[in-house]
Amino acid sequence: MNRYVIYTDLDGSLLDHEDYSHAAADPLLKQLEQKGIPVVPCTSKTRAEILPLRAELHNRHPFIFENGAAVAVPHDYFGRKPEEARSKGDFWVRAFTLPRDHWLSLIRNAAPDFQEEFAGFSDMNDADIVRLTGLSAQQAQLARTREYGEPIHWRGSPERLQAFIERLRKAGAVVLRGGRFIHVSGRCDKGRALTWLNQQYAQQADGRAPLSIAAGDSDNDVAMLEAADRSVVIRSPAHPAPQLNRSKNVYHSSAFGPEGWVEGIRHFITTS
């Protein structure tokens, strides 16, 4: 097994913030695959969204979806069933939180006081999501197939948003801010999912944990960036960089999106 595993956010990181292109990263992705270095998507996207993208990227590795709510590992990837995982389709899935219906009920309870100030994916149709994201109609349909949480488009003021978040947190939800939406789910995050998956890699290699490199651009990437051995903070054209408690082994890109991703990954792969 190679000594590295790369955990990467998608939108605004491996994928361009505006057009979702990964073309700038394709040559490096090919080199990493040839060297046997896994690139693990770690994203707010759904399992249904990641599958076609994974095929497009020729990626055969596990992936972390819905902001760390669950990890999907191909059945034939490891030599044995991963810990606490259940079979779903072609994957072993390890969930870290309750299903979506639980979080929708909490949002509905908060809704009367914030009725006109937000819309969740469950309130939207495909056209709404296309308008907000620039996705195709087919991609928007896949984005709505949430399993463990709910993305919300906020329309009100920042002050009211903070009140809304506090209401949900008091009810037991965790609220993360992504590049376009806030995400409501349970006490799960990309960092916890990364740690679990890195442990599975270690178990398959007689306890030798691979060195983890994480790349992300948003606040919902902070737990992942904090948990990894090396972190790439990718510059965004849409929002300020996420703030980390750590400063050691952190690289801040000068370029945006996939160009910044290549910049940061090359920094660690060539200097570690």
Inter-residue contact 34 to 26 (CB < 8 Å): no
> What three-state secondary structure class fits 38?
coil
Angle at 261 between CA 256 and CA 263, to 5 degrees: 90
The catalytic residue among 9, 11, 16, 221 is 9
Task: Give me the half-sphere count of Cα atoms (radius 13 Å) on the Cβ side of residue 26.
Answer: 9
Inter-residue contact 7 to 215 (CB < 8 Å): yes
- CA 232 – CA 181 distance, rounded (Å): 22
Report residue 222 as tokens: 């902070």
- CA 265 – CA 271 distance, rounded (Å): 10
- Is 9 catalytic? The answer is yes
Q: Annotated active-site positions, please?
A: 9
